[in-house]
Structure 1
Amino acid sequence: MDKKQANRPLLLIGSVVVIVVIFMFTLNSTNKGQQRLTDEQQLAQILSEIDAVGQVQVYFHYEQEVESGNFLSLSKGQKMTGVIIVAEGAHHSTVKSLLKTTVSTALQIPAHRIQIVPMQMKEEEK
């Protein structure tokens, strides 16, 4: 009976370590998806502060590069390949041009990879 009681603290410590590792893994994997969303929201908030732009929604498109071997595919990571911006003021060509230039400069991606479209007006605004 002494051996069973002596092993209890080790079992308890081992269980706590396993639970903490699982919790950290789960937290880390959910934060990666939230980080991308946060970046999109942050850019949308900044762009909406520009004069005559109005409300903005942003979507980042990522392309995952995959290197294929005979039986093995290795993921090299994600690369941003495009941005879609939906903005209230995008029906004005000057606002559209300003948004495209600003986003291209801020994200260091070519302007042809940025699509700016006008936001659909809501019923109460028509």
Structure 2
Amino acid sequence: TTGEIKFYHRGVEPVAFVLAPENAPEWVYDRQVLWNEVEKSEKRSDSQLAREINVALPKELNYEQQEELVKEFVQDNFVNHGMVADVAIHRDDENNPHFHVMLTMRYIDENGFGKKAREWNPG
């Protein structure tokens, strides 16, 4: 095998990318390394590793507009607050365009993950 992972549903591959704070190490852009590092940063077997958010997209927007909207929303609401965001935009159903975001739970800097950011937890 090539080690390459493909996600297809109804013949459509999602648009996927990682957004991260400017001071994050380069390895965060490799999903396999990112999520392995997330797991390694936790000590407890029952630790929460990530937070997932699913958001519907306006089907009136074209693909480029949807992608720009997603990037702006994720950057403003999560990445600018220190989270790493693993994003997948799904358009396999033209009546239900949406995106998924997996968010890290810890601060990150050039040295890797630090303390859990408790203020990111819902109130």
- TM-score, structure 1 as length reference: 0.31
Return the structure number with greater relative CO, CA threshold 8 A, min gap 6: 2
Higher helix fraction (1 or 2): 1
> Which structure's CA Rg is the greater one?
1
